[in-house]
């Protein structure tokens, strides 16, 4: 999961597999596959990197167990 920050400053974790789209207009809005929309403080490029890092950790873990 990736850690994000809501506009009110509270931290939460999101499963990146649920992300349908990320938009910056100017706030960053994440649309989930369910249609729910979340507004977060992180910029789109930061969210992209968080997802890449998350998936990398999973792949490294799989390679170690094989």
Distance between CA atoms of 58 and 61, rounded to whole angstroms? 5
* Mean of pLDDT values over 3-26: 98
The residues pairing with 30 across neighbouring beta strands, listed in sequence order, are 22, 38
For the chain, the average pLDDT equals 95
- Asked if residues 8 and 27 have their Cβ atoms less than 8 Å apart, the reply is no
Q: What is the pLDDT of residue 61?
A: 81
- The reported pTM is 0.88
């Amino acid at each position: 999961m990736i850690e994000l920050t809501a506009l009110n400053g509270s931290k939460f974790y999101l499963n990146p597999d649920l992300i349908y789209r990320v938009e910056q207009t100017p706030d960053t809005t994440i649309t989930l596959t369910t249609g729910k929309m979340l507004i977060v403080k992180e910029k789109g490029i930061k969210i992209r990197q968080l997802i890449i890092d998350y998936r990398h950790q999973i792949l490294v873990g799989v390679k170690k167990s094989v």
